[in-house]
């Protein structure tokens, strides 16, 4: 059910944006929009279906954990 | 690109709200935890450091006037080396910055005000607001900030006056007991909330009609006012609640507002504090969001950033629920990972930009 809500929302967004972009013949913007909308819809559908999404912040944490430990060690 | 223009006064207000943003409700508790009754000291040092940082950021902006941060990066590094750097900045502004601030709002609402409503609904409502604000453009955002500013100040002043009868000055004593290292640590934590993120204001400054010295004055002034408001609330928290209660509570300012009791008649008006925070937090998130979306549009060279707002808003919904699994992790993450992360983008990269700019000047001569 939640997944369908997401799809409906994505359709509504496309319905708002696409006609004016097509009218103004903005090819590139249309592609960029379509790409990001697909990514966003995909993420939201996965989230709605409770699929385990890899935490996108894990790489950040992995990179900065040593740095943060170092700072903490210096300030202790 | 976006042709919106904002005045110096509007930039000042935006800078003030961006400086205060999430910090005003969260910072006092962390500071009271590390340096006890001297919590005001790191804020004072932090304000000075933040002012120096803002001056430095404006210097970077003045290397290429009328250019946003993304365009400056492209000018300095070229398109192919610049693009990955810009992408990193977008990830930090959009995913980490606006995502984490949005989680703050959701967490605050679910733990303090409306515990039975799922956090998703607060995020959804705020994201709709963000999308609408960003689509209407920077000019509209700046004007709404300008309109809200007097009410905002009025609420802050009312808050300070109402809570002042309960001040007990002994709570600040003994003064200056904290040692050097904890002060350094808490200054760093303050700057990581209020100072380093100001680098993203460079996406907005080119839209300001003021240039050079006048821009600098407005930017630093906004910064200073924001910092002073944080300082006042931090001191008030310690003076009224005491060190223990401040460091233990998740949102000490809110706990402080609960204490307001005039003539046993005016009480339970803590929502005043919540409104102050909603306003400042909204502008903090919207600046992050706008910076991220505009940066992406400029990176991809599309004319109108508005097409990106809906997809990015949808992504933000998932990301904001992903940054922090829970609020204890949030506190831990903010004091460990966030500090070096934002320092990389607020200090290391800017220094690199200046080094490259000076090197380029030297080579062309």
ipTM: 0.89
What six digits make up the tokens of B43?
């804020």
A41-68: average pLDDT: 82
Range in A46-50, A60-64, B16-20, B262-266 with the lowest mean pLDDT:
B262-266
Q: Give the number of other Cβ atoms within 10 Å of residue A49's Cβ.
A: 10
The domain in which residue A15 lies consists of 2-75
Looking at residue B286, its pLDDT comes to 92
Looking at residue B132, its pLDDT comes to 92
Looking at residue B48, its pLDDT comes to 92
| Spatial CB neighbours of B351, under 8 Å, sequence gap ≥ 6 | none
Name every chain B residue with its beta carbon within 8 A of the beta carbon of A10. 314
Domain count, chain A: 1
In chain A, positions 6-35, which contact chain B (CB-CB < 8 Å)? 9-10, 13, 16-17, 21, 26, 28-29, 32-33
Range in B46-55, B287-296, B315-324 with the lowest mean pLDDT:
B315-324
Contact (CB<8Å) B323/A53:
no
Looking at residue B3, its pLDDT comes to 62
Band of pLDDT at residue B2, cut at 50, 70 and 90: low
Looking at residue B278, its pLDDT comes to 87
Contact (CB<8Å) B308/A36:
yes
Summarised one tens digit per residue, pLDDT across range B270-309 is 887 888 888 889 999 999 999 999 999 988 888 888 888 8
User: Looking at the partner chain, which of A41, A56, A68 has a beta carbon nearest the beta carbon of B95?
Assistant: A56
pLDDT at B362 over 80: yes
Distance from CA of A41 to the nearest CA of B (A): 7
Band of pLDDT at residue B1, cut at 50, 70 and 90: very low
Average pLDDT, rounded, for chain B:
86
Summarised one tens digit per residue, pLDDT across range B322-339 is 878 777 788 788 888 888
Looking at residue A21, its pLDDT comes to 81
Name every chain A residue with its beta carbon within 8 A of the beta carbon of B301. 28
Three state DSSP letters for chain B: CCCCCECHHHHHHHHHHHHHCCHHHHHHHHHHHHHHHHCHHHHHHHHHHHHHHHHHHHHHHHHCCCCCHHHHHHHHHHHHHHHHHHHHHHHHHHHHHHHHHHHHHHHHHHHHHCCCCCHHHHHHHHHHHHHHHHHHCHHHHHHHHHHHHHHHHHHHHHHHHHHHHHCCHHHHCCCCCCCHHHHHHHHHHHHHHHCHHHHHHHHCHHHECCCHHHHHHHHHHHHHHHHHHHHHHHHHHHHHHCHHHHHHCCCHHHHHHHCCEECCCEECCCHHHHHHHHHHHHHHHHHHHHHHHHHHHHHCCCCCHHHHHHHHHHHHHHHHCCCCCCHHHHHHHHHCCHHHHHHHHHHHHHHHHHHHHHHHHHHHC
pLDDT at B32 over 70: yes
Looking at residue B76, its pLDDT comes to 87
B103 shares contact with chain A (CB less than 8 Å): no
pLDDT at A40 over 70: yes
B87 shares contact with chain A (CB less than 8 Å): no
pLDDT at B9 over 80: yes
Contact (CB<8Å) B336/A72:
yes
Summarised one tens digit per residue, pLDDT across range B220-265 is 999 999 999 999 888 888 888 888 888 888 888 888 888 777 777 7
B38-66: average pLDDT: 88
User: Looking at the partner chain, which of B308, B318, B337 has a beta carbon nearest the beta carbon of A61?
Assistant: B337
Average pLDDT, rounded, for chain A:
83
Instruction: Provide the CATH number for the domain formed by B8-364 in this structure.
Output: 1.20.1740.10
Range in B89-103, B171-185, B211-225, B306-320 with the lowest mean pLDDT:
B171-185
In chain A, positions 50-69, which contact chain B (CB-CB < 8 Å)? 53, 55-57, 60-61, 64-65, 67-68
């Amino acid at each position: 059910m939640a997944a369908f809500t997401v799809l409906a929302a994505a359709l509504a967004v496309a319905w708002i944006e696409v006609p004016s972009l097509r009218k103004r013949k903005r090819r590139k913007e249309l592609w960029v929009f379509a790409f990001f909308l697909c990514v966003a819809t995909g993420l939201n559908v996965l989230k709605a279906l409770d699929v385990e999404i890899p935490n996108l912040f894990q790489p950040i944490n992995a990179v900065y954990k040593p740095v943060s430990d170092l700072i903490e060690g210096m300030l202790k | 690109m976006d042709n919106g223009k904002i005045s110096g006064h509007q930039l000042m207000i935006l800078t003030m709200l961006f400086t205060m943003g999430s910090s005003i409700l969260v910072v006092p508790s962390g500071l009271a935890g590390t340096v006890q009754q001297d919590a005001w000291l790191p804020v004072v040092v932090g304000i000075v450091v933040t002012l120096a940082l803002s001056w430095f950021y404006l210097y970077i902006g003045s290397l290429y006037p009328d250019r946003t941060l993304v365009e400056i990066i492209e000018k300095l590094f070229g398109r192919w080396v610049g693009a990955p750097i810009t992408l990193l900045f977008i990830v930090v502004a959009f995913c980490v910055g606006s995502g984490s601030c949005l989680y703050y709002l959701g967490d605050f609402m679910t733990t303090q005000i409306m515990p039975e409503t799922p956090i998703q609904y607060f995020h959804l409502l705020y994201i709709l607001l963000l999308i609408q604000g960003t689509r209407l453009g920077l000019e509209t955002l700046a004007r709404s900030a300008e309109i809200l500013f007097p009410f905002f100040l009025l609420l802050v002043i009312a808050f300070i006056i109402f809570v002042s009868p309960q001040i007990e000055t002994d709570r600040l004593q003994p003064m200056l007991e904290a040692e050097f290292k904890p002060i350094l640590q808490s200054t760093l934590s303050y700057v990581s909330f209020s100072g380093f993120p100001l680098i993203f204001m460079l996406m907005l400054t080119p839209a300001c009609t003021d240039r050079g010295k006048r821009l600098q004055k407005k930017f630093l002034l906004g910064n200073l006012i924001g910092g002073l408001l944080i300082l006042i609330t931090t001191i008030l928290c310690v003076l009224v609640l005491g060190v223990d209660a401040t460091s233990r509570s998740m949102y000490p300012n809110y706990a402080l507002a609960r204490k307001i009791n005039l003539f046993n008649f005016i009480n339970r008006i803590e929502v005043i504090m919540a409104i102050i925070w909603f306003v400042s937090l909204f502008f903090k998130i919207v600046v992050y969001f706008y910076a991220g979306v505009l940066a992406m549009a400029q990176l991809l060279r599309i004319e109108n950033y508005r097409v990106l707002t809906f997809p990015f808003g949808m992504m933000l919904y998932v990301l904001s629920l992903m940054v922090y699994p829970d609020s204890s992790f949030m506190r831990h993450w903010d004091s460990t990972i966030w500090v070096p992360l934002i320092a990389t983008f607020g200090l290391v990269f800017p220094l690199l930009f200046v080094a490259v700019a000076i090197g380029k000047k030297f080579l062309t001569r």
